[in-house]
Chain A
Amino acid sequence: MDADSDVALDILITNVVCVFRTRCHLNLRKIALEGANVIYKRDVGKVLMKLRKPRITATIWSSGKIICTGATSEEEAKFGARRLARSLQKLGFQVIFTDFKVVNVLAVCNMPFEIRLPEFTKNNRPHASYEPELHPAVCYRIKSLRATLQIFSTGSITVTGPNVKAVAAAVEQIYPFVFESRKEIL
């Protein structure tokens, strides 16, 4: 009512994290020696492989589990993951691209107004937690969407969720509440 839910807000996806399996054991040493653009972290037992085109960094374990980070969209994440699997295949491993899953999406959104955090926290008691001495933002969790929003007094909101849809829905949900506690400029 006092919130316009049709307002167009730019939600910028900054990071998409995904995982997939290769269903085969990977020889990290071989990858480190023969792969391109790799960093071998022998102490923790993983190899980082960076791709340029979709700018992503993949963490590869010898078990065949690979975590892919840095993509800016879900499609890009998948694309990059497949590319990565392909390059591993070229190194000689019998790679099968399975269990691809987007695990986390990080997005940023900016409200055109500032927010009064203490008031907001009071109005949204169970979901919002605010500890100004620890962190300057309010942490608002939406259990149904499994999304977490960090709301700053400047109006900037950081959303993390399991996928892009959840993130968008979370922003939609929070808007009216945030709008209530906005700082009006006289």
Chain B
Amino acid sequence: MACVNPVPKLYRSVIEDVIEGVRDLFAEEGIEEHVLKDLKQLWETKILQSKATEDFFRNSVHSSLFVLQLPHSLHQTLQSSTASLVIPAGRTLPSFTTAELGTSNSSANFTFPGYPIHVPAGVTLQTVSGHLYKVNVPIMVTQTSGGANILQHPIQHVFQQLGQPSVIQTGVPRLNPCSLQATAEKAQRMDMVLQQPAALHSGPVDKKHLENASSDTLVPPGNEPKLVSEALLSQQGNSQFISLPGVTFPSQVSQTDSNVEPVLGISDGMTQNLHGGPLTIGPLGALHQHMTDVQLHVKNLVYDCESVKQPRNTEEASSIAVSQKGSNSQMDLSIQVTGDYINEIIQIDGTDDTSSNEEIESIKDVDENEFLGITDAGDRKVLEEADSVSNEDSTANSSDNEDHHIDIVEEDPLNSGDDVSEQDVPDLFDTDNVIVCQYDKVHRSKNKWKFYLKDGVMCFGGRDYVFAKAIGDAEW
């Protein structure tokens, strides 16, 4: 899964551009350089304080501890004792060979801030919290801001279940923030993903394998190693994530910009959401999706552990970084397999979709109100006195209706609709969920609205997200 957040990068680039742009102007005006610096500092501080984006500056200072456990033999089953290997921070992984890892209990502890790390096949990753992450194919792990935190959680689950071949890890809720992030590189990954549509199919196959195998080692399907390698290959850059096996949605790529993907393009299953789903579903969905994605990812890793032979792992390893969006179907399949452990997995999509339409609709309504306009609070006071006698007035009017001469005169005093209350509901509660964007098309049928938006920034739940394309549905 991609944990790349484009927002901090974008914001930082905006700040840089603006500062550079006004530098000359400031100089012309005779304002000193430090004023400009102060301005920039202030700006960045405000962004940090607002928590609108996460990890605004954490990228560079983040360090996570990863303990890589290498199996003493790649060809051995999971039961074999594993060696721990910790990848040192800040450097691309040393290439481990199976020979190095041959000795049991050989362990090396590396702490790395999550910088790109290349993990060769047959390595079991264990985070500080003790989760095991077995990789049968070479993977590349890069760091996203806040990635360490994220990894700890899922790996914990993985660890528990690694002991049992049939076990599958549980969800990784913490991966959500990562999942929401997308970078332009994702587009690359998406392209690569497109090339690996077969990866999708291997999922179910793996599941079956898992079901059948107890402690028996499974020979993963040919795609599996590819999946894992793809999954774990992460995109370069300052994003660290353990990408899930290549379950991607080529269709998603075509629809949306890569930036949008994590937010909106959850998976094939969520395609409908992308199209018709409310806009707000995006972030929520992405969160959930990534949770499931991570689950799937870990599971695939587990599958790999069970496999005895991984001859192709190395060759399958590709530089393709794929983030798994996880198709719904695949997710569902995988979740079914996990059995008991599924309970721990919070499935947000599919039948257990927890994203409520009402919630989204209400949020959409808010957005809609943004579009439609905001009642000026000041104007509301205009007729507080009006809340007086509309009732009397209406009764008076009804009696006057028969008398047409008096009609016009009597109806004059609206009495500010004493009865004619203020709107039944002050619809326009000014929420903080705002989208600022351009629109391609806004369409209405009776009370059903459809929004086709583009190039926008939205503040949702205090966080900022950017998108190049957004599609929304709402009911008024």
Residues on A lying within 8 angstroms of B by beta carbon are: 32-39, 50-53, 78-79, 82-83, 85-87, 89-92, 95-100
A/B interface sample: 25 pairs, CB < 8 A? A33-B373, A34-B373, A35-B372, A36-B372, A36-B375, A37-B369, A38-B372, A50-B476, A52-B425, A79-B419, A82-B414, A82-B417, A82-B419, A83-B421, A83-B423, A85-B417, A86-B390, A89-B414, A89-B416, A89-B417, A90-B375, A91-B375, A92-B382, A96-B414, A98-B411
Within 8 A of A (CB), among B356-402: 369, 372-376, 379-380, 382-383, 386, 390, 394
Asked if A90 and B414 make an inter-chain contact with CB atoms under 8 angstroms apart, the answer reads no
Closest CB in chain A relative to B88 CB, distance in Å: 59
Q: A37-B427, A51-B423, A92-B379 are in contact. List 10 more A-B contacts (CB 8 A).
A: A34-B374, A35-B373, A36-B423, A39-B372, A82-B390, A83-B417, A85-B420, A90-B379, A95-B414, A97-B414
Q: Which residues of the other chain, A, contact B394 by a CB distance below 8 angstroms? A: 78, 82
Tell whether B412 is near chain A: CB-to-CB under 8 Å: yes
Interface of A, helix, strand, loop or mixed by DSSP = mixed
Tell whether B39 is near chain A: CB-to-CB under 8 Å: no
CA of A32 to CA of B383 in the docked complex: distance in angstroms?
20
Tell whether B22 is near chain A: CB-to-CB under 8 Å: no
Residues on B lying within 8 angstroms of A by beta carbon are: 369, 372-376, 379-380, 382-383, 386, 390, 394, 408, 411-412, 414, 416-417, 419-425, 427-428, 444, 476
Q: Which residues of the other chain, B, contact A92 by a CB distance below 8 angstroms? A: 379, 382
User: Given A35-B375, A36-B374, A90-B379, are A85 and B476 also a contact pair (CB < 8 Å)?
Assistant: no
Asked if B423 and A87 make an inter-chain contact with CB atoms under 8 angstroms apart, the answer reads yes
Q: Which residues of the other chain, B, contact A35 by a CB distance below 8 angstroms? A: 372-373, 375
Closest CB in chain B relative to A51 CB, distance in Å: 8
Asked if A91 and B379 make an inter-chain contact with CB atoms under 8 angstroms apart, the answer reads yes
CA of A86 to CA of B369 in the docked complex: distance in angstroms?
19
Closest CB in chain B relative to A44 CB, distance in Å: 16
Q: Which residues of the other chain, A, contact B428 by a CB distance below 8 angstroms? A: 36
Q: How many cross-chain pairs have Cβ atoms below 8 Å apart between A and B? A: 92
Q: Which residue of A lies closest to B369 (CB)?
A: A36
User: Given A32-B373, A38-B372, are A82 and B379 also a contact pair (CB < 8 Å)?
Assistant: no
Q: Which residues of the other chain, B, contact A37 by a CB distance below 8 angstroms? A: 369, 372, 427, 476
Contact for B417 among A34, A53, A86, CB less than 8 A: A86
Contact for A91 among B372, B376, B412, B476, CB less than 8 A: B376
CA of A96 to CA of B374 in the docked complex: distance in angstroms?
23
Closest CB in chain A relative to B56 CB, distance in Å: 34
Most buried by A among B379, B408, B417, B424: B417
Contact for A34 among B375, B390, B476, CB less than 8 A: B375
CA of A87 to CA of B375 in the docked complex: distance in angstroms?
9
Q: Which residues of the other chain, A, contact B390 by a CB distance below 8 angstroms? A: 82, 86
Closest CB in chain A relative to B421 CB, distance in Å: 7
Contact for B412 among A86, A89, A96, CB less than 8 A: A96
Q: Which residue of B lies closest to A33 (CB)?
A: B373
Closest CB in chain A relative to B352 CB, distance in Å: 32
Asked if A85 and B414 make an inter-chain contact with CB atoms under 8 angstroms apart, the answer reads yes
